[in-house]
């Protein structure tokens, strides 16, 4: 009986120890699972943070690229793309390849084209230069074709001669650009801040250079300082004025034929003073006196021409507008 009771006690003790071991193992397993779960959560948190940082970086890169693209588009935008402030005018007459006279605010104003230069045809003490008459004729054709408008730049609107400085448009098209592209003008007289279309004009000029058009067809003719050379024929204004001189001299001679020798001598002296002679000059007190003899005025090549009577500096004195 005693042995039986001892067996039962041992068995109970065995069951108790087994239960304790099971509880301990269960506890250990639970702790392990918790630790594993915590590690997984930390890993997930790190991955989420990494993904978030990656997305932020990606978004920043996209924003930066968009901003750079916007800046590039802005920098590549031509001045001509912006809205032009054009002023309507009407043509009075064409002076030469880069100058016109217009009716502006009730007055006749001389307009000198900004940023371009064409060969001379009417400059005092200068010959007619190659392609000068071509440029004048083309300019005249352009400004007579459609609505005439001017655009002023940021700087001075007039030069030291009182001429207006402007970009000129005929029927919405730039006259300067046409002259440059056709090889009838060069880019010149660049003074800040009147340089709005400088880059555009240089490209137009290069087009003509690449094709050896007009002023660019002769090496060394068009330079940074101007144009070199003259055409062989004289100015038209010279040939026009000669018949008038001959007519005046003949008239005076016939009028005084019947006078006495002393009167004839006096008349001859007066005629010599009034008529132009080779290398000589004629003097008139003012335009009123000059027009009595030359109703339409005189060009700069005429002996009676003086700069003080050429108030608009167009190389023609005492002309009637």
> Tokens 């007289």 map to which residue?
189
Q: From the candidates 133, 163, 182, 282, give the one annotated as an active-site residue.
A: 163
Residue where the block lists tokens 């001679």: 253
Query: In Å, what is the CA distance from 250 to each residue of 15, 93, 112, 307?
Result: 159, 34, 42, 29
How many whole angstroms separate alpha carbon 86 and alpha carbon 67? 33
- Per the structure block, which two tokens stand in for 210? 């690449």
Q: Is 311 among the catalytic positions?
A: no
112 in catalytic set: yes
Catalytic residue (choose from 120, 133, 205, 282): 120
Structure tokens at 166: 């402007």
3-state SS assignment for residue 321: coil
Please name the residues in contact with 24: beta carbons below 8 A apart, sequence gap of 6 or more.
none
Between the alpha carbon of residue 153 and those of residues 102, 115, 157, 302, the distances in Å are: 18, 11, 7, 37
**Which residues make Cβ contacts (< 8 Å) with residue 180, sequence separation at least 6?**
116, 186, 187, 201, 204, 205, 207, 208
- Catalytic position from the list 112, 133, 138, 182: 112
Task: List all residues 6 or more positions away from 208 whose beta carbon is below 8 Å from its beta carbon.
Answer: 180, 181, 182, 183, 214, 215, 216
Active site residues: 112, 120, 163
């Amino acid at each position: 009986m005693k042995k039986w009771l001892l067996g039962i006690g041992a068995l109970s003790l065995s069951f108790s120890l087994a239960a304790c071991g099971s509880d301990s193992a269960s506890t250990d397993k639970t702790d392990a699972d918790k630790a594993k779960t915590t590690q997984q959560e930390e890993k997930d948190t790190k991955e989420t943070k990494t993904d978030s940082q990656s997305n932020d970086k990606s978004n920043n890169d996209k924003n930066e690229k968009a901003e750079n693209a916007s800046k590039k588009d802005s920098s590549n935008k031509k001045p001509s793309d912006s809205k032009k402030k054009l002023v309507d005018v009407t043509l009075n007459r064409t002076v030469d390849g880069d100058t016109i006279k217009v009716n502006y605010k009730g007055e006749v104003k001389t307009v000198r084209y900004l940023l371009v230069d064409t060969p001379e045809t009417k400059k005092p003490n200068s010959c007619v230069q190659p392609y000068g008459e071509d440029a004048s004729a083309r300019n005249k054709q352009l400004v007579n074709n459609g609505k005439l408008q001017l655009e002023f730049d940021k700087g001075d609107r007039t030069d030291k001669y009182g001429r207006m400085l402007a970009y000129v448009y005929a029927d919405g098209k730039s006259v300067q650009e046409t002259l440059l592209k056709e090889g009838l003008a060069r880019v010149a007289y660049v003074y800040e801040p009147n340089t709005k279309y400088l880059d555009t004009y240089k490209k137009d000029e290069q087009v003509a250079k690449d094709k050896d058009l007009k002023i660019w067809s002769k090496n060394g003719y068009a330079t940074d300082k101007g144009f070199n050379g003259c055409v062989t024929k004289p100015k038209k204004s010279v040939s026009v004025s000669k018949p008038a001189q001959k007519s005046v001299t003949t008239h005076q001679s016939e009028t005084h034929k019947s006078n006495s020798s002393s009167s004839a001598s006096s008349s001859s002296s007066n005629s010599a003073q009034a008529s132009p002679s080779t290398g000589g000059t004629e003097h008139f007190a003012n335009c009123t006196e000059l027009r009595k003899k030359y109703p339409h005025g005189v060009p700069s090549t005429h002996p009676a021409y003086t700069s003080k009577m050429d108030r608009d500096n167009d190389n023609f004195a005492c002309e009637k507008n």
